[in-house]
Structure 1
């Protein structure tokens, strides 16, 4: 057993843990329940507790996809050396920490992706253009698709000719239909993840397609019926409960998509060290995010809730539904995605539906877009230059 290699791995693991803490304490740990706190549906500390639990669950059961993409799918020609992994994690976490302290909106996914590509190319790796095109497509389309879905939902919910017990119930049914087809590592056989729909195909004595349709349709109808009954008997209370459920799902999705940014660079090193399994790495990343959510997220949740308080439960629901859908799509594709980008786009779309495009601050949006692009460019340049000079 190589003691020097293990020592370097421990250093990389600590850097990964710090990155996970920063992610949990940042927007991915605060955003999912901030609308519910703003709508007075849940207290701040309880929201931080729940977002930590659901984020940890998402990291362990869904984190492998994005982790593998970040660890081995961004640069060809071999994995990063231990020193390169440490450099990537320190740069990514350092830039994010600076963003939190200064208020500059550094995007996690852009920062880590830029750092991995920068270090990898500087050390002689080759570009993986198909993956880059896929990532670029998701990043570019997220504001359009997420904002568009949020705009459509927010346009329908307040209409008097569409009762909310029906519209919100239909939304809940769609979310349920997606959820039963979401992949979880605990439901798979061997290295492959599985879905609740897959379980139905194994249990029901019918053709696979019929079984999948039965599970999907049954889940959608059941959840829609329950939500319709709940909202019909207590409209405001029912909306708050839907908001809490969506916040839980978004927190779960955040854990599954964001943990890969912290532990992805670390995964290729597990084979070299030989004493740590990829599952243990995911659990460690999930615990780091949980700690960040419990210790650092409450203040940000409280801060964001003040902004979300003007949204109300309907507009918050309009923003969280596309956030859940896009985050799960990113997990399915194995694409690192910025939760800031997802949620901000959805909020802008729902805001435009409620207050018109005049209510949207175009200058603020342009500054935010510039910050996202700048996060990637700055991270890439710093990583490339640091790797050339130090490694």
Structure 2
């Protein structure tokens, strides 16, 4: 009996093995989101369990367990959404890998929250609600619980649709809605709310304008010079000094509140000192790094890569110090009201609450953050190290200017506004150069582009622009409506 050829003998087995491999790959792809959800759920249950152990003898322990669980859920959503604004530009510019960005953000967000986060937080988020308007501490507890749940749900929804939103504004909306449902419209400080509403426009516009201004400076003084390397040796240390000054002032103003209270003038002096030192330190380093580089734009990107990594880390530290406390404010308020039975405008943040916030951010970033990081860094407009550097620098400067003006701003709106500013400036500048070249060297008449082709050649993706702006506009009212409804349900069911 003749044996079949060797190839045909194993062909059927090979096909079956290939089918099994495809099945395994498909199963892993489908199950990957479920693994993330499972880990997140386990962390939420663990946070509630630890709160139950800590307050086991308290008669209201179930309230604290529920609040801790929802606080952990909120922290996970902060990590999934808000942190993308700090890391997105660096990843989009290829200065950091996704894994490196997640690792740096997790470390510096947690360090900022635990080392420099405020000891005291406003229970009513920016003073928009008068706590004395609540008829009892129990009503106040349900209002804060509703605010926490609604803010977390809204940020979760925004992350799912791919829209970076402000978690602080989500909490503000949640507190406002629950406050109105509990004590009426008169409980809201409307002048403060009007300032917050104004920041929806001021934050992204100011961030975008500053980022575009620095990009215009870099193009004029470095990119379009005949000797780009010589121009970079002259101006890059100056730009790094400005960056160091901005971040030193930013961290002194926002990131060191737990250690020492610093006013705007002192923070500017601190920043100036760091800026001058950085200039003289980096000048010889940039000269050494630029030796042997070719006289082209690609070579310039090398000089901005490492500063961009440092800026992303510092932004994460300041975000952890400043924004996490606002997010866990309702949880701290619930713990205080349950433990002491009174309503306070400001309460201390227990260490375990900040630990939940810090760990939750790390889990949320690791499990769900890459989606928003890619969207912010890669899908709004194309970034390189120079453009991403302008975005990071504008974020620090805008926060300082807003603090000087007394305006409540969102780091999310500033960072994303900076990306839009860079993209729209590139569109304007590209069109301006095209027209100038056409005037200098008239070209043959070319048929006008179709509307679809003109839209395709835009440097900022309009679909993302409209989605993000719409999400920003409806964040506060959407969180407020959800919070009011949740409060009414909680108050009617429990009472």
TM-score of the aligned structures, taking structure 1 as reference length: 0.82
Given candidates 140, 148, 159, the residue that maps to 1:89 is: 148
Match of 1:223 in 2: 278
The SS at the match of 2:274 is helix
**1:195 Cα deviation from its structure 2 partner:** 8.2
1:384 aligns with 2:484: yes
CA deviation map 1:256-277 (0-9, x unaligned): 3331342011222343344995
Aligned ranges for residues 66-215 of structure 1 at < 5 Å?
67-68=121-122, 70-71=124-125, 73-78=127-132, 81-103=140-162, 106-124=165-183, 126-159=187-220, 160=224, 163-181=231-249, 182-183=252-253, 184-188=256-260, 193-194=261-262, 213=269, 215=270
Match of 2:293 in 1: none
What is the CA–CA distance in structure 2 between the aligned matches of 1:302 and 1:363, rounded to whole Å? Answer: 15
Deviates more, 1:249-258 or 1:68-77: 68-77
C-alpha contact (below 8 Å) 2:142/2:490 kept by paired residues? no
CA deviation map 1:194-233 (0-9, x unaligned): 589979xxxxxxxxxxxx84x5433111112233333333
C-alpha contact (below 8 Å) 1:35/1:309 kept by paired residues? no
1:22 aligns with 2:84: no
**1:123 Cα deviation from its structure 2 partner:** 0.7
Match of 2:108 in 1: 54
**1:138 Cα deviation from its structure 2 partner:** 2.6
Task: Classify 1:309/1:227 alpha carbon distance in 2 versus 1 (closer, same or farther; 3 Å).
Answer: farther
What is the CA–CA distance in structure 2 between the aligned matches of 1:196 and 1:108, rounded to whole Å? Answer: 25
Structure 1 spans left out of the alignment, 5+ residues: 200-211
TM-score of the aligned structures, taking structure 2 as reference length: 0.66
What is the CA–CA distance in structure 1 between the aligned matches of 2:74 and 2:86, rounded to whole Å? Answer: 19
Relative contact order: is structure 1 or structure 2 higher (C-alpha 8 Å, sep ≥ 6)? 1
C-alpha contact (below 8 Å) 2:163/2:372 kept by paired residues? no
C-alpha contact (below 8 Å) 2:83/2:365 kept by paired residues? yes
Q: How many residues align?
A: 373
The alignment yields a C-alpha RMSD, in angstroms, of 3.4
1:370 aligns with 2:425: no
What is the CA–CA distance in structure 1 between the aligned matches of 2:313 and 2:85, rounded to whole Å? Answer: 11
Task: Classify 1:180/1:109 alpha carbon distance in 2 versus 1 (closer, same or farther; 3 Å).
Answer: closer
**1:73 Cα deviation from its structure 2 partner:** 1.5
Match of 1:296 in 2: 368
**1:118 Cα deviation from its structure 2 partner:** 0.5
What is the CA–CA distance in structure 2 between the aligned matches of 1:316 and 1:94, rounded to whole Å? Answer: 30
**1:244 Cα deviation from its structure 2 partner:** 0.6
C-alpha contact (below 8 Å) 2:155/2:165 kept by paired residues? yes
Indicate the structure (1 or 2) with the bigger Cα radius of gyration: 2
What is the CA–CA distance in structure 2 between the aligned matches of 1:81 and 1:169, rounded to whole Å? Answer: 53
Given candidates 315, 318, 330, the residue that maps to 1:253 is: 318
